[in-house]
Amino acid sequence: MDLFHSIILGFVQGITEFLPISSTGHLILVEKVLNLSQTDFLKSFDIIIQLGSILAVVVLYWRELFTNWEVQKRIVVAFIPTGILGLVFYKIVKAYLLGNDTVVLWSLALGGIALILFELRHKEEETDFGELANLPYKNAFIVGIFQSVAMVPGVSRSAATILGGLLMGIKRRTIVEFSFLLAVPTMLAATGLDLIKNAEQFSGAQWDFLAAGFIMSFVVAILSIKFLLSFIKKRSFIPFGVYRIIIAALFFLYIIYK
């Protein structure tokens, strides 16, 4: 891995983190194209550069994160399932799922099918929840359970959270923004846990790679967030579902005929 690779991966992380297409899945696939070995550092890199995406949310939504107590309480409630399950399954996910091409591709494809089928049946109602500050805690907790499924690479934290929210009767823009906000404690926890366990093993050059990936992820994530908010005003998530199926099929062929 070199500085060029870290910048490319930071770009991929930033553009995919908040879209329902799986940032981790895309990082793993791009790393395969770049012929990068799935070392312990690379797995940590994929987790830690999420800090750039977190900072993008903090910059854009600092009022909700730091001044809106009602929203803060619902973020905490939704984070509980992921926090508990993340601690329990951290070693298993990192050892057996991260870097697993088969898991990623099947998750991308099946997730794409789920997005399409759901959107074909879903219709937003006037009675759906439109204010996060008024969201029942039970609904917030269930959204958190959906988010925890995204520990499987390729599922997409954003897609799982958004689908869970729509099923709970939350308006589209509201659950998308809740997904942004919920990413902050979720990715902070994942990154913090990995840093605690592995930071002392990183070399000086590896810290430089992390810094480059972080900066690129931050800049691109801001643009990605703004794009998604504009996109959902008039469109459904079906195009993302189609994209997931196509990219999974292409990489299946790539792996077979490489």
pTM: 0.87
pLDDT at 144 over 90: yes
pLDDT: is 150 or 140 the higher one? Answer: 140
Q: What is the model's pLDDT at position 96?
A: 66
pLDDT tens digits, one per residue of 108-135: 999 999 999 999 988 888 777 888 888 9
- Mean pLDDT (the chain) is 89
Element holding 51 (H helix, E strand):
helix 50-60
Residue 200, pLDDT above cutoff 90: no
Helix (H) / strand (E) element for 28: namely: helix 23-33
Q: What is the pLDDT of residue 28?
A: 82
pLDDT score for 143: 94
Sign of torsion over alpha carbons 189, 194, 200, 205? negative
Provide the β-strand partners of residue 129: 170
Mention every residue, 6+ apart, whose C-beta is less than 8 A from residue 75: 65, 140, 178, 181, 182, 184, 185
Mean pLDDT, range 242-251, rounded to an integer: 93
Q: Are 181 and 136 in contact (CB under 8 A)?
A: no
Query: For residue 40, is pLDDT > 90?
Result: no
Question: How do residues 76-87 score in pLDDT, each as one tens digit?
Answer: 999 999 888 877
Residues spanned by the domain of 133? 3-257
Q: From CA 201, how far away is CA 46, in angstroms rounded?
A: 16
Count up the domains in the chain and report the number: 1
Q: Determine contact, residues 160/24, Cβ cutoff 8 Å.
A: no
* Model confidence band, residue 20 (pLDDT cutoffs 50, 70, 90): very high
User: What pLDDT is stored for residue 83 in this prediction?
Assistant: 84
